[in-house]
Chains A and B, each alone.
Chain A
Amino acid sequence: MPHTLAQKILLAHTETEAVSPGEIVMVRCDVVMTNDISGPMAFKAMERMGVERVFDPARVVLVPDHFIPAKDERSAELQKLLAEWAERQGVAFYAQGRGGIEHTVLVEEGWVVPGSVIAGGDSHTCTYGALGAFGTGLGSTDIAACLATGQFWQAVPGTIQIEFTGEKQRFVTGKDLILAVIAELGVGGGTNTVLEFVGPGAEALTIDERLAVANMAVEAGAETGLFPADETVAEYLDGRTDRPWRAERSDPGAEFAQTARIDLDSLPPLVALPHSPGNVVPLDEARGLKIDQVYVGNCSNGTMTDLRQVAEILRGRTVRKGCRMIVVPASQRIYREALSEGLLDVFVAAGAMVSTPTCGACFGGGTGVLAAGERALTTTNRNFRGRMGSNQAEVCLANAWIAAAAAVAGEIVDPADVLEGVPV
């Protein structure tokens, strides 16, 4: 019986011989990841399960990233607990100053390979689908079971296959592709399914862009968002990992729950307006919206690709008076690379603040939250009401080109206008 890519990965991680959508199976994890929010609650639950040691220390990774550096005493206690627990269990631990945002770190450090199953105590664990891995977000009790037994229960998902045809236009990035998908499916349209991204438009994407796309699969309600592994993935993993893997794709004749096609030749840059990632409009319809703060960063769009786009806009320009800008490289590696490339100097010279890697203001945790009545434009993945601070603040989501251009103009504009010096 032909299977989808997601089903093939799950089959390889269960004791069952065949799987069909809806059936509940126990899935073995190749890697279990948790952070300073989901971790401490998971450790307590694991104790209540009566289990003292993790199932396999070599498969467990802890990354404190949400309240890093600690914003208050309570957060500091969580960091301390995480460090002590990691030491006691003998598991991998990316301490403050040694890692960054969990999903970026796991990908960079070679934990993620095609065909693997990764359970993460964070909803954006779906990011690993960029490399063809079944990365999926779970809560603390699920993570406790994974730490204790190496397994989680999973209803076998159907698959929605999205075909990207044509070629991306100028100032269109991975961010716009996934916003288009969410607009097409709706914020609950991917529930109980996996998204699978195929077609020439998908194959042409760099790893950074694939990460941006897969990252927001959960914003359509999906369990993960898979790119079948290809030469681009092989090149990326070369020298980065010694974990074995092989490229897989959906079998010919596999049954999909739904298919959709998005033509990149006619896809404009997009903006998700408040208060939903599904509230998507073409950039043209968002132009003129005043912006109080621009935030570039997070697990979807804090990559070198994003930072280079921002630098191209900001070089020789300044952040407009009355507008603030925060740039958050997603990991220490990216931070150093941006430093040595001179990008951080461009940002600071323009009047932007550069933060150390953290989830920070993206989820309202700290380092740049919003006041009532303010509007932010961010490269992050959620613009729910109150997401970044005040319940009376607004967040718009867009790509790094649009973010940088908005910082220069103090309002949402076409990046081409900024580069060509059109007065706003």
Chain B
Amino acid sequence: MRLEAKAVVVPGDDIDTDVLYPGAYLNVTDVETMKQYLFEGLDPSLRDELGGETTALVVGANFGAGSSREHVPQAMHAWGVRFLVGRSFARIFARNCLNLGLPIVTCAPAAEAVAPGSEIVLDLDEGRVTVDGEVFPIPPFPPFMREMMASGGLVSWVHGNLDATTRVV
């Protein structure tokens, strides 16, 4: 799996889910409406940098700390975000991204090499991320994760594995 994208940088560490998508809007279930509130508590002008079909968000440490709200990665996905590169990710946020078919890459040197607008290439099969031509190795995704990414996320993975995973009644 090989993905190319232009970098949008979200500065700072420990960026929490509440500033990424404030609680007051959690009763929204329509993704087009969700898009309007992404980054609302952090810096709404970040939304102006999105909108292309292929964006990579580049973030700091412990990105997405806090809540399990899936509104955050759903809105990101709908804005055209294709993957994230960061120093580190909070656990539930990371799961939510992966489940939606959004690869997350923990690679501090790559995150540091990025400038706004950098061209980033993620190659999951080769295990590397390239920032403006500079190559950074990343640990290989486990087989299950590669399989889930290839199928586009957990929904289609479960759909494709129903015989293996559902209880026979």
Binding site for B on A (CB under 8 A): 23-24, 26, 36-38, 40-41, 44-45, 48-51, 55-56, 66-67, 72, 74-75, 78, 121-123, 137-142, 144-145, 148-151, 153, 187-188, 191-192, 218, 221, 223, 276, 278, 363-365, 369, 382, 384-387, 389, 391
**Contact in complex: B26, A139 (CB < 8 Å):** no
CB distance from A283 to the nearest CB of B (A): 24
Kindly state the separation between the CA atoms of A389 and B165 in the bound complex, as whole angstroms.
42
**Contact in complex: B166, A138 (CB < 8 Å):** no
**Contact in complex: B18, A387 (CB < 8 Å):** yes
**Contact in complex: B19, A385 (CB < 8 Å):** yes
- B2 within 8 Å of A by Cβ? no
**Contact in complex: B167, A56 (CB < 8 Å):** yes
Kindly state the separation between the CA atoms of A49 and B161 in the bound complex, as whole angstroms.
10
CB distance from B108 to the nearest CB of A (A): 13
With A365-B23, A365-B24 already in contact, the answer to whether A41 and B29 are too (CB < 8 A) is yes
Question: Nearest B residue to A72 by beta-carbon distance?
Answer: B27
CB distance from A300 to the nearest CB of B (A): 14
CB distance from B59 to the nearest CB of A (A): 12
Binding site for A on B (CB under 8 A): 14, 16, 18-19, 22-24, 26-29, 41, 61-62, 65-70, 73-74, 88, 90-92, 95-96, 99-100, 142, 144-145, 148, 153-155, 158-159, 162, 165-167
Question: Nearest B residue to A26 by beta-carbon distance?
Answer: B165
Question: Nearest B residue to A151 by beta-carbon distance?
Answer: B165
Partner among B19, B74, B88, B95 whose Cβ is within 8 Å of the Cβ of A142: B95
With A188-B14, A382-B18 already in contact, the answer to whether A142 and B99 are too (CB < 8 A) is yes
**Contact in complex: A140, B70 (CB < 8 Å):** yes
**Contact in complex: B29, A221 (CB < 8 Å):** no
**Across the interface, which residues of A come within 8 angstroms of B22, CB to CB?**
364, 386
**Contact in complex: A141, B154 (CB < 8 Å):** yes
**Contact in complex: B95, A138 (CB < 8 Å):** yes
Kindly state the separation between the CA atoms of A163 and B96 in the bound complex, as whole angstroms.
32
**Contact in complex: B166, A365 (CB < 8 Å):** no
**Contact in complex: B23, A363 (CB < 8 Å):** yes
**Contact in complex: B62, A191 (CB < 8 Å):** yes
CB distance from B161 to the nearest CB of A (A): 8
**Contact in complex: B68, A123 (CB < 8 Å):** yes
A-B contact pairs, 18 of them (CB 8 A): A41-B70, A44-B29, A49-B155, A50-B162, A55-B166, A66-B26, A122-B68, A123-B66, A139-B99, A140-B70, A144-B154, A144-B155, A145-B158, A149-B158, A191-B91, A365-B23, A385-B41, A389-B24
**Contact in complex: B90, A24 (CB < 8 Å):** no
**Across the interface, which residues of B come within 8 angstroms of A139, CB to CB?**
68-70, 73, 92, 95-96, 99
Kindly state the separation between the CA atoms of A386 and B23 in the bound complex, as whole angstroms.
9
Partner among B99, B153, B166 whose Cβ is within 8 Å of the Cβ of A149: B166
Supply 20 further A-B pairs (C-beta < 8 A) apart from A67-B26, A149-B165: A24-B144, A36-B27, A37-B69, A55-B167, A78-B27, A78-B29, A123-B67, A123-B68, A138-B92, A139-B68, A139-B99, A142-B154, A149-B167, A188-B65, A188-B90, A192-B91, A221-B91, A363-B67, A365-B23, A382-B66
Question: Nearest B residue to A385 by beta-carbon distance?
Answer: B19
Kindly state the separation between the CA atoms of A385 and B22 in the bound complex, as whole angstroms.
9
**Contact in complex: A276, B14 (CB < 8 Å):** yes
Kindly state the separation between the CA atoms of A49 and B66 in the bound complex, as whole angstroms.
27
Kindly state the separation between the CA atoms of A391 and B44 in the bound complex, as whole angstroms.
12
Kindly state the separation between the CA atoms of A363 and B27 in the bound complex, as whole angstroms.
12
CB distance from B138 to the nearest CB of A (A): 15
CB distance from B33 to the nearest CB of A (A): 10
**Across the interface, which residues of A come within 8 angstroms of B162, CB to CB?**
49-51, 149
Question: Nearest B residue to A125 by beta-carbon distance?
Answer: B68
Kindly state the separation between the CA atoms of A218 and B159 in the bound complex, as whole angstroms.
30
**Across the interface, which residues of B come within 8 angstroms of A142, CB to CB?**
95-96, 99, 154
**Contact in complex: B158, A150 (CB < 8 Å):** no
Question: Nearest B residue to A157 by beta-carbon distance?
Answer: B91
Kindly state the separation between the CA atoms of A41 and B71 in the bound complex, as whole angstroms.
9
**Across the interface, which residues of A come within 8 angstroms of B70, CB to CB?**
38, 41, 139-141
Kindly state the separation between the CA atoms of A138 and B154 in the bound complex, as whole angstroms.
13
With A74-B28, A141-B155, A386-B18 already in contact, the answer to whether A148 and B67 are too (CB < 8 A) is no
**Contact in complex: B100, A141 (CB < 8 Å):** yes
**Across the interface, which residues of A come within 8 angstroms of B158, CB to CB?**
49, 51, 144-145, 148-149
CB distance from A374 to the nearest CB of B (A): 16
**Contact in complex: A137, B153 (CB < 8 Å):** no
Partner among B90, B95, B155 whose Cβ is within 8 Å of the Cβ of A221: B90
**Across the interface, which residues of A come within 8 angstroms of B29, CB to CB?**
40-41, 44, 78
**Contact in complex: B155, A188 (CB < 8 Å):** no
**Across the interface, which residues of A come within 8 angstroms of B90, CB to CB?**
188, 191, 221
**Contact in complex: B155, A48 (CB < 8 Å):** yes
Kindly state the separation between the CA atoms of A340 and B167 in the bound complex, as whole angstroms.
46
